[in-house]
Amino acid sequence: MEEKKKSGFFKNWIVKNLLGALVFVVVLVVAVSILLNVLTRHGKTVRVPDFTNMSVPEAVQAAQQGGVHVKVTDSVFVRRLGAGVVYRQSPKAGAEVKQGRNIFLTINSIVPRKTVMPNLVGYSFIEAKAELTNRGLNLGKIRYVNDMATNNVLKQQYRGREIAAGAEIVSGSDIDLVLGLSREDSKTAVPDVVGMRMIQAVDVLHDRFLNVGRMTFDPGIHNYRDSVNAVVYRQDTPGVQKTLGSSVNLYLTLDQAKVPAK
């Protein structure tokens, strides 16, 4: 009888310890999973707010509400834009990023500053556009000429004339690019930019190798600051295939009620 009691006690002890160990492992796995989710914000993404034309304090506040952080990393000079306001951001407005991601801001400086014109000839369009951004310059118009290498830069121009690499130029200036175009790669689809602010819409069109044509502003838009805040409520031929370098006309407003719901 005594042996049976000892045997039963021993078995119960083993079972209890096994159950205790199992519970400990489960709790540990759950705790580690929660900790990893907190540290990596696994699966939590947010859409990047549009900080265009905001002051830095306004951008910081909007970033907190949007679940991201902002850092000012560069400045350009745009004569018609307010001093110290956000001109450009990376990643772009609307991009999906991990919660807590840093968004890098380029602000409009108070006084003009100069930068050095890079040599973009031979670059792909995407590389050239990125290099212009890195140098604090803007992409102006893109023009295509017959060439075997589509979207390779053949010339770089400023105010209608070629500009040499190494030349000093005011930051924020528009640089036009002459690109190659072969017959096999000559079409692109017009993106839908309705609901986007002016600068974002222009950027998206450029990413599709298109130019901005005529921009028609509502009567309530009186100055450049208003135009930067304006939103596209109508555009030409979204979704239609067009030849690279074609122009797309935009219609902009400050009245959100005019922007169609998507």
Scanning the structure block, which residue is given the tokens 């190494």? 166
The predicted structure's pLDDT at residue 21 = 63
The predicted structure's pLDDT at residue 112 = 81
Which stretches of the chain drop beneath a pLDDT of 50? 4-6, 9-10
Handedness of CA 61, 64, 65, 68 (dihedral sign): positive
Q: Where are the alpha helices (DSSP H) in the chain?
A: 2-40, 56-66, 125-134, 198-207, 224-229
Do strands 153-158 and 174-181 pair parallel, antiparallel, or not at all (unpaired)? antiparallel
- Which residues, 6 or more positions from 58, have their beta carbon under 8 angstroms from its beta carbon? 51
Q: Do you find a cis peptide bond into 118, omega within 30 degrees of 0?
A: no
Q: Please tell me the distance from the alpha carbon of residue 95 to that of residue 86, in angstroms, as a whole number.
A: 17
The predicted structure's pLDDT at residue 82 = 85
The predicted structure's pLDDT at residue 38 = 56
HSE-up of 116 (CA within 13 Å, CB side)? 4
68 close to 100: Cβ distance less than 8 angstroms: yes
Domain covering 114-185 assigned CATH 3.30.360.10 in the classification: no
Q: Please tell me the distance from the alpha carbon of residue 24 to that of residue 161, in angstroms, as a whole number.
A: 74
The predicted structure's pLDDT at residue 136 = 87
Supply the CATH classification number for the domain 45-108.
3.30.10.20
Convert the pLDDT of each residue in 150-159 to its tens digit: 999 999 999 9
Contacts of 216-224 with CB under 8 Å at 24 or more apart are 216/249, 216/250, 216/251, 216/252, 217/252, 217/253, 218/252, 218/253, 218/254, 218/255, 218/258, 220/253, 220/254, 220/255, 221/252, 221/253, 221/254, 223/80, 224/80, 224/81
DSSP 219: T
Instruction: Looking at the structure, give the CATH architecture of the domain made up of residues 187-262.
Output: 2-Layer Sandwich (3.30)
Q: Give pTM, 2 decimals.
A: 0.72
244 close to 209: Cβ distance less than 8 angstroms: yes
Beta bridge partners of 189: 241
128 close to 149: Cβ distance less than 8 angstroms: no
